[in-house]
Amino acid sequence: MKKFSLITLSLLAYLNTVYGQNNTIVVGVDMVEPKTPTFKVTSALPLTADFSKPVIIKFDGTTLPAGYKVTKAAETTDDLIQDTGDLKIYTITVKNLKATEIKLKIDATDVPTLDVSIKNTNVPNEKIGTGSASAAYKFFKAHFGSMFTDFDNRYDRDGNKAYFFFDENGTPVGPVPVNVDADDYMIVYVAIPKGTDGIYAIKVEGEYKGKDLVFRPGTPIPTGATQGKTPEEDTGYDYIIGEAGPFSPEKATIKIFKMGDELSSLNVPINELYHGAFGVSFISTRLEKPVFDVFPINGTDDNTINTTNKGIRTLVTFNYIFYWKPSIDWLEGKLKKSSNITRGRDVLKEATFLERLNPMFGVSINSEWRENFFVGGNFEFVRGGSISAGYHYGKIQQLVDKSFVLGQDVFTGTKADIKLTDAWKWDFFFGLTLDTRIFSRIFARN
């Protein structure tokens, strides 16, 4: 026979405080001689417990029969983890939270077996993560307010943070953030039953590979999420938090674990960040490129020099558009020592006004591309389409004799005798720019 100890009393008091008496099943022992000792359940019937918390089997009485133990009944297929407590206490953790019932066998030497059936009072609802009536939803709403209820707030664009909320079954609570990009941090919250933080874990898998320059098309780093919990009011829930990132495209995976077993995983697409884009522009330039020739002077027998092909010209140019705003954001973070992450623009997000306004540099698309350069500004009025304006710096020809008055002074030679020299000049241009992908599709169809 074994004596009831002070250690047992202390342990039972602790377990009842953490998990509640509703999860404690009390089993008595009738040791009155000359009768055969028997087990009997002294808790109120039917026996119920919350399987999301450990189930406590407590033996009541001052003495116990030899070799007493608690085992799983053969018809119970749900996985159980059973820990033997201090003498009279068995702590049982049900791994399958969807189980509606577990059956146990209580045995001892020369004592008839007692069959015990315990029903689950907290069978998970498959839709718990989406309904406003879910316990996790109410918990997050009470503690995070508009950051949780206003789905736009789940992605902090300026702070480069995306917030994810899960219930204790690993189900996302409400919509998850979209357009997470390669300089964002992922903040993961999991609502768990109070007192069970030690059996839950968060892991975010991904990799970060910084890139030097990424133009809009025409060694993995292990990441462990930190965990912690916050003091909680009497709601029956607490939460753990994990923070990880940033991650490179194409995805990162959030995994929720309970007692080492994976409850769920969520793949989060990671958008590429671009430092610039290529475009094709149709521009009008005021930089004239005249052709000189010999013409007769009206009413006389004399000739003069004059020009043709004067006026505004239309050219097609190939441009590089530099996304300057992310570089300024990076420099600001560097100066403040708050971040050293290479920045870029996520083109899948709707651009702000400043992100739409960018410098551009280009050359003409013809055999004279070495003689025509363009620098200016580019305003993206719609995705893939921009208005461009700036200065055209190009090589033209002009008369060597700068004093000669075209169309008036007499010239006695032929066209081959006209003496010309090269000159580089500036003038204004204006045009429409298309993303190279759009330009390619136009030509493909034609």
Query: For domain 135-271, which CATH number applies: 3.30.930, 3.40.720, 2.60.40, 2.40.50?
Result: 2.60.40
Q: Give the pLDDT confidence of 238-279 residue by residue, as tens digits.
A: 888 988 878 888 889 999 998 888 888 999 998 888 888 888
Topology alike, domains 6-120 and 135-271: yes
Q: Give the pLDDT confidence of 192-241 residue by residue, as tens digits.
A: 888 777 789 999 888 876 554 444 444 232 333 333 344 344 457 888 89
Q: Give the pLDDT confidence of 7-26 residue by residue, as tens digits.
A: 343 444 444 444 445 678 88
Position 95, amino acid? K
Query: For domain 6-120, which CATH number applies: 3.30.1330, 3.40.50, 2.60.40, 2.50.20?
Result: 2.60.40
Residue 336: what pLDDT? Answer: 63
Predicted confidence band of residue 83 (pLDDT cuts 50, 70, 90):
low
Rounded average pLDDT over 66-91:
73
Q: Give the pLDDT confidence of 284-293 residue by residue, as tens digits.
A: 999 988 899 9
Count Cβ atoms below 10 Å from residue 241 Cβ, excluding itself. Answer: 15
Asked if pLDDT for residue 89 goes beyond 90, the answer is no
Predicted confidence band of residue 189 (pLDDT cuts 50, 70, 90):
very high
More confident residue, 419 or 65: 419
DSSP codes joined into one string, 270-287: EE--BSEEEEEEEEEE--
Residue 163: what pLDDT? Answer: 93
Q: What is the SS3 assignment for 415?
A: helix
Q: Give the pLDDT confidence of 401-432 residue by residue, as tens digits.
A: 888 989 888 898 888 889 999 999 999 999 99
Q: What is the SS3 assignment for 173?
A: coil
- What is the overall mean pLDDT for the chain? 78
**Rounded (10°) CA dihedral 84, 86, 89, 93:** -40
- The answer to whether the beta carbons of residues 243 and 226 sit under 8 Å apart is yes
Residue 41: what pLDDT? Answer: 82
Say how far apart CA 403 and CA 413 lie, in whole Å. 17
Question: What does the domain layout of the chain look like in residue ranges?
Answer: 6-120, 135-271, 276-445
Residue 430: what pLDDT? Answer: 96
- The answer to whether the beta carbons of residues 42 and 24 sit under 8 Å apart is no
Asked if pLDDT for residue 1 goes beyond 70, the answer is no
